[in-house]
Amino acid sequence: MTETGTVPAASDPVRTEEALPLYRYFTSTVALITSGAADAGTNVMACEWTFNVSYRPLRMMSLVKRGSYTHELISAGGEFGVNMCSDEQAALVSYAGNSHGREVVKLDDPLFAGGIYTGKRIGVPMLRGCVLNLECVVESTVEIGEHTGFVGRAVAGLANRSKQPLLYNRGRFFRLGDLLAKPPAAEPATGE
Ligand SMILES: Cc1cc2nc3c(=O)[nH]c(=O)nc-3n(C[C@H](O)[C@H](O)[C@H](O)COP(=O)(O)O)c2cc1C
């Protein structure tokens, strides 16, 4: 028997926001966003909502909650570091995503010891051990709900082919699984 207006529970047990927020069914990569501004210090936060939004020039967008220290620093400094995490960096993400830069200088934590380098083109610390590092200058912003989307043009970058991305799903961390055989007719969907 099915309830009016719903699909059968057996085929889709998660039907409502009450059962489990549906956004948790997305899988994302995770960035550590670094920021800094003169006389205001530096900071790092975890940000799964970080995407590339144009290829040439390469632009990134990070959605950062208003009221966070990161939001304040990016707004003041006009630049941010996108550090796309490797599958060895879950502990850094967990720490940076559950602590607050107004209360603690996160980058001084031993977790980051030896893992910081100075941005080449921006005045923001960058992190070692990542899949990809992009130094970004804010070009525009967009307000979406409780978050601001900072769109940044990448002015310097570094990729590390030996690292694999960290994945995040339903509050848990994963690494990439098996490589699938490429379907015969598959075309890249990148526009490249
Ligand atoms: C895995 C993970 C992903 C997160 N993704 C986001 C995100 O996309 N946007 C956001 O505003 N906060 C995100 N957060 C929460 C922030 O990292 C968190 O609020 C942090 O304490 C903000 O730090 P700050 O106040 O020092 O800037 C995430 C947290 C975790 C653990």
Which range of residues forms the domain containing residue 167? 27-175
Confidence of residue 1 (pLDDT cuts 50, 70, 90): very low
Query: Is 15 contained in some domain?
Result: no
CATH code of the domain in which 33 resides: 2.30.110.10
pLDDT tens-digit series, residues 76-126: 999 999 999 999 999 999 999 999 999 999 999 999 999 999 999 999 999
Residue listed under structure tokens 């796309």: 84
Confidence of residue 27 (pLDDT cuts 50, 70, 90): very high
Inter-residue contact 156 to 120 (CB < 8 Å): yes
Residue 127 Cβ contacting ligand 1 at under 6 Å? no
Query: Is 192 contained in some domain?
Result: no
What percentage of residues in the chain have a pLDDT greater than 90?
A: 79
Inter-residue contact 64 to 148 (CB < 8 Å): yes
Domain count across the chain: 1
Pocket test for ligand 1, best of 29, 35, 45 (most atoms within 8 A of CB): 45
Query: Is 165 contained in some domain?
Result: yes
Distance CA 136, CA 124 (A): 10
User: Can you give the pLDDT at residue 191?
Assistant: 56
Query: Is 2 contained in some domain?
Result: no
Residue 121 Cβ contacting ligand 1 at under 6 Å? no
User: Can you give the pLDDT at residue 3?
Assistant: 35
